Structure 1
Amino acid sequence: MPIKLLSIFILSYLSYSYSAADSFFDGISVSTGPETNSNANMDSYRVSLLWDWQQDWLQGSRWLLSGYYDFSLIYWENQLSHEDGLSAEGNGSTTAISFSPIFRIKPRDAFFNALTPYLEIGVGAALLTHSKIVAKSFSAVDLGSNFQFEDRIGIGLQIGSQRQFELGYRYIHYSNAGINSNNDGIDFQQLHLSFWF
């Protein structure tokens, strides 16, 4: 699956390598990584469209505070086998769509004219096809509802004179924030590769 994600990224890059003025969106991103806090043993795969806010809230500072919108198609795949003593309930995989506004802070000037580190944080929403996930226990991971909040924090590095390439790490948490009495929540660590037009 990671090779498929990389292939999608490369094809998207080649297809949309024209100027940002001609693009419907400002960037694309692919990411993957494991979940970290349950017995579900899920891997996540994500393809995102990105829209830059074109904002500068720290004018005159050495830092640039701005952000972007992230619209994603997400797939979670269970890595358990029947030998793991699986729960009677739940699905082994689920798909989702999500939308998140992301705030990002970074130095205004790149190091060596090519490297720019950043820190980002965001809270958005996701809609899942399944709210119960098969787990290595007597009970499934019960997210409580198909609607989930998507909280994230991340760090990364923009590469290139135009900061067009990006490598980063994110920690993403999903929960329904108590809307439903069942709210196990699930967390993922992800590495992502992005390209900005």
Structure 2
Amino acid sequence: MNFLKRGAIALVAGLAFFAVQGTSHAVDLTPDSVSLEVGMGEDDLVVTRVGLQWDWNQHWFNSNGTSLDGYFDLNAAWWHASDWKDKDEDKEIAVVGLTPVFRFMKTDKKGPYIEGGVGVAFFSKVYNNAGNNMGISFQFTEHLGVGYVFDNNIDLGLRVQHYSNAGIGSHNSGENLLMLRAAYRW
């Protein structure tokens, strides 16, 4: 296992551990929100994703009514590629991912926010669209986003997201996405 692969795995595991460290209540498997995302990538890639989120409720660096918090995002996506290498092959790919996400916002979880996350994703097959070959079905994913949570708990956001295998596969073209996100928190 090369250094980069070990480092990426350690980063994701560390983020997940740090996120739940210090929680004093039993684990509740009921999600805190549900999301729908639509977006596009390079070479006419179209992505639709649904997700469930579990809040950490930590409020780190609490100051002036703002804090750093976060959530786990478990999602399933459908990618439709436009220029698959083998023309006889199906151009659709299913993707399942898990990402710990850090979010900086008001402590009441309303108003504007910025967020970032690093996670993992598993593809139903190797992505190879328009010569953009990602090499293997296991990918790392990271995103940066901005958004706003309204008083009615509707969360609207915009994300820039990247998928890559971090060099653990023979090919590592990666894929960049621009995603619009809507979520409802209860």
Give, in whole Å, the separation in 1 of the partners of 2:56 and 2:85. 44
SS in 2 for 1:67: strand
Q: Is the 8 A contact 1:165 1:193 kept in 2?
A: yes
Deviation at 1:23, TM superposition (A): 7.5
Q: Does 1:176 align with 2:165?
A: yes
- Residue 142 of structure 2 is matched in structure 1 by 151
Q: How does 1:21-60 map to 2 (within 5 A)?
A: 24-36=30-42, 39=43, 41-60=44-63
- Residue 5 of structure 1 is matched in structure 2 by none
Give, in whole Å, the separation in 2 of the partners of 1:174 and 1:54. 27
- Residue 120 of structure 2 is matched in structure 1 by 125
Deviation at 1:91, TM superposition (A): 4.5
- Residue 116 of structure 1 is matched in structure 2 by 111
- Residue 166 of structure 1 is matched in structure 2 by 155
Letter in 2 for 1:165: I
Give, in whole Å, the separation in 2 of the partners of 1:23 and 1:181. 37
Q: Does 1:65 align with 2:64?
A: no
Which runs of 5 or more residues in structure 1 are unaligned? 1-21, 81-85
Give, in whole Å, the separation in 2 of the partners of 1:189 and 1:95. 18
- Residue 100 of structure 1 is matched in structure 2 by 99
- CA offsets 1:87-121 (integer angstroms, 9 cap, x no match): 337651100100000000013468xxxx6000000
Q: Is the 8 A contact 1:52 1:69 kept in 2?
A: yes
Which runs of 5 or more residues in structure 2 are unaligned? 1-27
Identity of aligned residues (%): 31
**Corresponding residue pairs, total:** 158
Deviation at 1:141, TM superposition (A): 2.2
Deviation at 1:130, TM superposition (A): 1.4
SS in 2 for 1:58: strand
Give, in whole Å, the separation in 2 of the partners of 1:76 and 1:27. 23
Q: Is the 8 A contact 1:93 1:133 kept in 2?
A: no
Give, in whole Å, the separation in 2 of the partners of 1:133 and 1:151. 20
